[in-house]
């Protein structure tokens, strides 16, 4: 290292002494190794028989998970190239919600295949072009194979929801959960888009997973503000007020300067009068329940209770929004502006016990555009992992409803792609042909890993799978439970098309980006940064390195 730095002295005058430069083959090898290491770290979790990881952070808190993106986020990765692979899983999570492990594993395998070709003196640019061409072709092939699903095909939607939960903590109750997920996503769907954030998840420790349920409405993590208020209100007109039922502070401050006791009494009466008017306004417009974003004065609480109004204070703005969607009401921030038209409606608003906590349930609404999944499980770690499985599942049902296209799972699409891309490679010719072939080989990492993780012989499984695809069985995939190659669609193992196309796209982009880098200039020491005692400097150093790398990609291309 020292020698390299001395050699590079002249052109490096612009860099500070702590900077470190790695170029050419060394840079490529370093980045490829880092990228592959990331993929390797999640490989064993892939598929229905994948194992879980236990992650312990510096504070000692523990996460047990099978979810690719969660593992990578929890791991404290700070190599810049490794981070590019982590980003693949993050993009996958944002775009489709599932397939995060697959995307990373494919990216790692692309790097592995690329390494061999680089060793044979195939230029990185040729590789990049070949990979990109193969990825384009792969998307076309997948599009052709896609199976159409209509939005009212409940059975297929449930299968998709269920496939996304396979191998996660939710396994034992996945049929029940899959139905809840489908109902939830359909309930919150708008005409033009579906925001799964409108499906809230309430985790309850205690009970078993299959006692989980869907509340078509909102659960607010609050209690009624005064115990003289009703526990429950039927056929409730619901007011949503994002303000305070209090008299403004400045007016109270004025009291301090009051010397005459009569004057003080006058002030207090005035204050009471104002609060009374605020409550009267709510009564006048016909509110039976009021959710208030800020505080409610004690005196106002008393008046509200007298009027039989159920009031909740300090409701979060997210809750107010959800309540508005669910009840058809409108959140108003100025009490005088609140009108009867702004009120929402719910057949039932009630304070109930859930897992030992009192919450306000707002249900029996006309069209619940916001719903709550109550997840139960034996322990906190179990419920947390079920929640992650549910998040994936919500994502795939959403994607399917939006796109209407699915593919069989169990490695079927990857096996078919490998076959067809090898044919395609012949038409490419030149050295890029080798890159396309390598791309085809790389995709087979999915069925191979599914087999390995299921304790099967990966070679036997692949040979079997290839033969069936050669014979024209597009949907032939690996049954991870029996080891047989079966028709995955018939088995009900289906996934959204976009899970596969997005994974291929991001994996290719990340691999290509890493391959094109031939120079890494870091503002600090890249290799030893993990052992540094000064924790504060590490993220900054990492970020600096990343910024440098972004620019490097372009430079590599220019050479
Ligand atoms: P990811 O984070 O990539 O979604 P998973 O651990 O969820 O990782 O595994 C997904 C892979 O498991 C997909 O290739 C999917 O087709 C496959 N899979 C899911 N269910 C089954 C099943 N019952 N049999 C075989 N493969 C399955
Ligand atoms: Mg998955």
pLDDT value of residue 524: 72
Tokens 């058809």 sit at which residue?
328
Catalytic residue among 70, 101, 166, 501: 101
Quick one: average pLDDT of 37-63? 93
pLDDT at 537 > cutoff 70: no
CA dist 3 and 35 (Å) reads 26
How many whole angstroms from 224 Cα to the centroid of ligand 2?
Answer: 40
pLDDT value of residue 429: 86
pLDDT band at 62 (very low <50, low <70, confident <90, very high): very high
Quick one: average pLDDT of 353-366? 93
Catalytic residue among 22, 100, 327, 400: 100
**Which ligand is located closest to the Cα atom of residue 93?**
1
* pLDDT tens sequence across 250-297: 555 555 566 777 777 887 888 899 999 999 999 999 999 999 999 999
How many whole angstroms from 466 Cα to the centroid of ligand 2?
Answer: 23
pLDDT band at 87 (very low <50, low <70, confident <90, very high): very high
pLDDT value of residue 552: 33
Catalytic residue among 22, 65, 67, 519: 67
* pLDDT tens sequence across 109-151: 999 999 999 999 999 999 999 999 999 999 999 999 999 999 9
Site to substitute for ligand 1 among 44, 46, 485, most atoms within 8 A of C-beta = 46
pLDDT at 420 > cutoff 70: yes
Quick one: average pLDDT of 456-469? 97
CA dist 375 and 385 (Å) reads 11
Check if 100 is active-site.
yes
Answer with the residue of higher pLDDT: 232 or 524. 232
pLDDT value of residue 249: 61
**DSSP line for 466-492:** HHHHHTT-TTEEE-TTT--EEEHHHHT
Looking at 42-46, 166-170, 497-501, 503-507, which range is the least confident one?
A: 166-170
pLDDT value of residue 260: 73
> Phi, psi at residue 54, to the nearest 5°?
-105, 120
How many whole angstroms from 170 Cα to the centroid of ligand 2?
Answer: 12
pLDDT at 68 > cutoff 70: yes
pLDDT value of residue 525: 66
Domains within the chain, CATH numbers bracketed? 18-147+414-443+494-558 (1.10.560.10), 150-214+375-401 (3.30.260.10), 218-367 (3.50.7.10)
CA dist 246 and 268 (Å) reads 13
Q: Is 331 helix (H, G, I), strand (E, B) or coil?
A: strand
Give nearest CA residue, ligand 1 atom 16. Answer: 409
**Which ligand is located closest to the Cα atom of residue 446?**
1
CA-410 nearest atom, ligand 1: 26
Check if 392 is active-site.
yes
pLDDT at 215 > cutoff 60: yes
Q: Quick one: tokens of 30?
A: 């370093």
CA dist 174 and 182 (Å) reads 12
pLDDT band at 454 (very low <50, low <70, confident <90, very high): very high
pLDDT, mean over the chain: 89
Quick one: average pLDDT of 77-105? 95
Quick one: average pLDDT of 97-101? 95
* pLDDT tens sequence across 11-38: 556 777 788 888 888 999 999 999 999 9
Contact (Cβ atoms closer than 8 angstroms) between residue 307 and residue 290 = no
pLDDT at 551 > cutoff 90: no
Check if 342 is active-site.
no
Quick one: average pLDDT of 388-399? 96
What is the CB < 6 Å shell around ligand 1?
45-48, 50, 68, 98-102, 163, 166-167, 409-411, 446, 450, 478-480, 493, 495
Quick one: average pLDDT of 228-236? 97
* pLDDT tens sequence across 365-389: 999 999 999 999 999 999 999 999 9
**Which ligand is located closest to the Cα atom of residue 100?**
1
Q: What is the pTM of this model?
A: 0.86
Q: Quick one: tokens of 147?
A: 């199976």
Give nearest CA residue, ligand 1 atom 12. Answer: 47
């Amino acid at each position: 290292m020292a020698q390299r730095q001395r050699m590079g002295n002249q052109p490096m005058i612009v860099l500070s002494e702590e900077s470190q430069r790695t170029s050419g083959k060394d840079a490529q090898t370093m980045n490829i190794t880092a990228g592959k290491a990331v993929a390797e770290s999640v490989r064993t979790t892939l598929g229905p028989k994948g194992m879980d990881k236990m992650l312990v952070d510096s504070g000692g808190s523990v996460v047990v998970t099978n979810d690719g993106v969660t593992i990578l986020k929890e791991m404290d990765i700070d190599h810049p190239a490794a981070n590019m692979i982590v980003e693949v899983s993050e993009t996958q999570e944002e775009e489709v919600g599932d397939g995060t492990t697959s995307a990373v594993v494919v990216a790692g395998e692309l790097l592995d295949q690329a390494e061999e070709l680089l060793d044979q003196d195939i230029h990185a640019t040729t590789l990049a072009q070949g990979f990109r061409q193969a990825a384009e072709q792969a998307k076309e092939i997948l599009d052709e194979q896609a199976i159409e699903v209509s939005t009212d095909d409940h059975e297929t939607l449930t299968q998709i929801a269920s496939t996304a939960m396979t191998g996660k903590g939710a396994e034992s109750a996945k049929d029940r959960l899959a139905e809840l997920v489908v109902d939830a996503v359909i309930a919150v769907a708008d005409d033009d888009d579906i925001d799964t954030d409108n499906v809230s998840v309430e985790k309850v420790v205690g009970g078993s997973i299959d006692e989980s349920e869907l509340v078509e409405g909102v659960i607010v993590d609050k209690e009624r503000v005064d115990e003289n208020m009703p526990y429950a209100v039927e056929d409730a007109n619901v007011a949503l007020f994002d303000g305070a039922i209090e008299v403004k502070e400045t007016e109270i401050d004025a009291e301090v300067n009051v010397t005459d006791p009569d004057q003080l009494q006058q002030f207090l009466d005035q204050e009471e009068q104002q609060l009374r008017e605020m409550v009267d306004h709510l009564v006048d417009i016909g509110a039976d329940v009021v959710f208030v974003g800020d505080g409610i004065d004690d005196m106002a609480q008393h008046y509200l209770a007298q009027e039989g109004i159920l009031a909740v204070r300090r409701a979060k703005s997210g809750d107010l929004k959800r309540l508005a969607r669910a009840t058809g009401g409108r959140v108003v921030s100025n009490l005088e502006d609140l009108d009867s038209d702004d009120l929402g409606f719910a057949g039932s608003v009630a304070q109930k016990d859930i897992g030992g906590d009192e919450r306000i349930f707002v249900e029996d609404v006309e069209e619940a555009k916001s719903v709550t999944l109550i997840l139960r499980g034996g322990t906190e770690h179990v419920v947390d992992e079920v929640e992650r499985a549910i998040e994936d599942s919500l994502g795939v049902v959403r994607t399917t409803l939006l796109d209407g296209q699915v593919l069989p799972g169990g490695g079927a699409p990857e096996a078919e792609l490998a076959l067809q891309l090898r044919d395609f490679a012949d038409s490419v010719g030149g050295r890029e042909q080798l890159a396309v072939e390598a791309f085809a080989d790389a995709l087979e990492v999915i069925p191979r890993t599914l087999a390995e993780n299921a304790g099967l012989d990966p070679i036997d499984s692949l040979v079997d799978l290839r033969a069936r695809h050669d014979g024209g069985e597009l949907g032939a995939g690996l049954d991870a439970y029996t080891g047989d190659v079966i028709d995955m669609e018939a088995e009900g193992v289906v996934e959204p098309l976009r899970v596969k196309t997005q994974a291929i796209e991001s994996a290719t982009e990340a691999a290509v980006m890493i391959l094109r880098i031939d120079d890494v200039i870091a503002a600090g020491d890249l290799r030893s940064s993990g052992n540094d005692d000064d924790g504060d400097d590490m993220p900054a150093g990492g970020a600096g390195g990343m910024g440098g790398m972004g620019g490097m990609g372009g430079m590599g291309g220019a050479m």
